[in-house]
Amino acid sequence: MKNKGLIITLSIIGVIVLFVIILVIWGIGSYNNLVTLNESVNQSWSQVENQYQRRTDLIPNLVNTVKGYAEFERGVLTDVTEARSKVSQFNVTPEVLNDPQAFQRFQQLQGELSGALSRLLVTVENYPTLKANENFLQLQAQLEGTENRISVERRNFNQVVQQYNTTIKRFPTSIFAGLFGFGEKQYFTSTPGSETPPKVEF
């Protein structure tokens, strides 16, 4: 009788130990998966930043080329320069991804710069000699290529963030996400008015 009771007790202990081992292994796997997804978000974010930085670096050359045309609208150049200055002053840290207000501010500043650049390119239509300037044409091509890459990287970023956010919200992974501080990341959204871009024909 005692042996039977001991066997039952050992069986219960064995089941509990096995359950704990499975739980620990699953927990480690979940944590490692969250770390991997978080790093994917960070890597994708750095690609977005690289393209935005490339655009920011092109702007001084573009402005200097356009400045050579004395009659060119100074207000348009001022808007581009000021928008670039605001973007450059914004301190982009990894915490931006976890702070909805900071992320929205980053996106707003980039949207203002995009708008200023669009107005500049539309205004150029009134200056045939500037449109034909070799330096301007090269800078324009680089800028258009960069804008395309920004769009691609933002889309890629949103896809990675979607995968990450979905994973941290699924039960039971959501428990580990909460315990280890894996918070929701922000998505890029379209800039208000971007559904009707300015018409530019080159």
Residue appearing with tokens 């894996």: 182
Is residue 201 in some structural domain? no
Is residue 187 one of the residues assigned to a domain?
no
Number of separate domains in the chain = 1
- Domain-embedded: residue 111: yes
Angle (CA) 147-148-154 rounded to 5° is 90
User: What's the pTM value of the predicted model, to 2 decimals?
Assistant: 0.79
Q: Is residue 118 part of a domain?
A: yes
Residue type, 29: G
Task: Tell me, yes or no, whether 172 lies in a domain.
Answer: yes
Give the chain's mean pLDDT: 85
Q: What is the mean pLDDT of each run of 10 residues along the chain (202 residues)?
A: 73 87 87 93 91 90 80 81 90 82 91 90 82 85 91 94 94 87 87 47 36
Separation of alpha carbons 63 and 76, rounded Å: 10
Contact present, 37 and 163 (Cβ < 8 Å): yes
Taking only the tens place, the pLDDT of each residue in 123-156 is 888 888 887 888 888 888 899 899 999 999 999 9
Q: Is residue 198 part of a domain?
A: no
pLDDT for the residue 195: 43
What contacts 24+ positions apart, CB below 8 Å, involve 147-150? 147/55, 147/114, 149/51, 149/54, 150/48, 150/51, 150/52, 150/55
In a domain? residue 53: yes
Does the residue 149 lie in any domain? yes
**Spatial distance between the Cα atoms of 188 and 89, rounded to a whole number of angstroms:** 20
Please identify which residue in the block is written with the tokens 């280890």: 180
Which structural domain, as residue segments, surrounds residue 133? 2-179
CATH number of the domain that 149 lies in?
1.20.1440.20
Residue of 173, 183, 196 whose CA lies nearest to 41: 183
